[in-house]
Amino acid sequence: MNNPLMQTIDLVGASYSAALMGMLATTLLLFIGTAWVRRGWKIPVTLCAIATLVGVVSLYEARLVWLAQSQVPLVYHYVGWIISLPVLVTAIYFFARNVGPVSVSLFWRLLIVSVLMVLFRYLGEAGIVYSTLAFLISLAFWLYVLGELFFGQMEEAISKSTLASTKRGYFWLRLIVTIGWAVYPLGSFVISFSAYTDTGGLSVAYNIGAFVNLMAFGLTVLTTAMMASQGEENAS
């Protein structure tokens, strides 16, 4: 059986390989890092590790498809996103909950909204639902998540924290969700409302985005958890 090989100028295949190896390394580091933080911080760190682990499997499958067909159907992107992105949103919830009081109902709202955000984006790109309607609905769900991050209970809990590390970490997480995650609706807009035919360019953009949106996200949570754990120990 002959395995397809990457050519020297195959930037798309190279981006899949780089993202795959980076995601694998980040996953291992995050799982190991759960031993470096105090009990309450283990949950958000573990959730980030689960999200990057899903990313590893998703990237591996998409890379095989690219090498075999020189194209990646959009479903290979979304099967990973519909799990990893909601898991990361819940990681922010437990991040904030570890700092101050946050309602359980908010957890379920964020989980449901983040799943629907990805689902409607896929339905629109796949042509299952009218693309404009699906795009606007998914955009509204993303804006809802941002609203909770900037003006909701999580922001209130973080603002009352006495640890500068948690405020700084939350700032970066919020920035990633605001700017980094914008690549997903932007890609959806390009596919749904233009005559653009993806020959691998969007895959490269998504793979580059994975370094920020999943890997840097997880490492930010881990770094903050380590610093906060140390600060809690010193305070006690």
Q: What DSSP assignment string belongs to 179-203?
A: TGGGHHHHHHHHHHHS----SSHHH
Residues above pLDDT 90, as percent of the chain: 83
Question: Which of 10, 143, 158 is CA-nearest to residue 71?
Answer: 10
E strand or H helix at 129: none
Instruction: Say how many C-beta atoms besides its own lie within 10 A of residue 207's C-beta.
Output: 25
CA dist., res. 66 & res. 29, Å (int):
28
The model's pLDDT over 199-235, given as tens digits with 9 standing for 90+, comes to 888 999 999 999 999 999 999 999 999 999 987 656 5
- Span 10-30, pLDDT tens digits: 899 999 999 999 999 999 999
Instruction: Tell me the per-residue pLDDT of 162-184, one tens digit each, with 9 for 90 and over.
Output: 889 999 999 999 999 999 999 99
* pLDDT tens column, 108-126: 999 999 999 999 999 999 9
Domain boundaries, the chain: 12-228
CATH architecture for residues 12-228 = Up-down Bundle (1.20)
**Nearest Cα to Cα of residue 214 among 38, 39, 24, 32:** 24
Q: Rounded to the nearest 5°, which phi and psi values hold at 203? A: -60, -40
**How many angstroms separate the Cα of 144 from the Cα of each of 37, 149, 161?**
30, 9, 24
| Interval 66-87: pLDDT, tens | 999 988 998 999 999 999 999 9
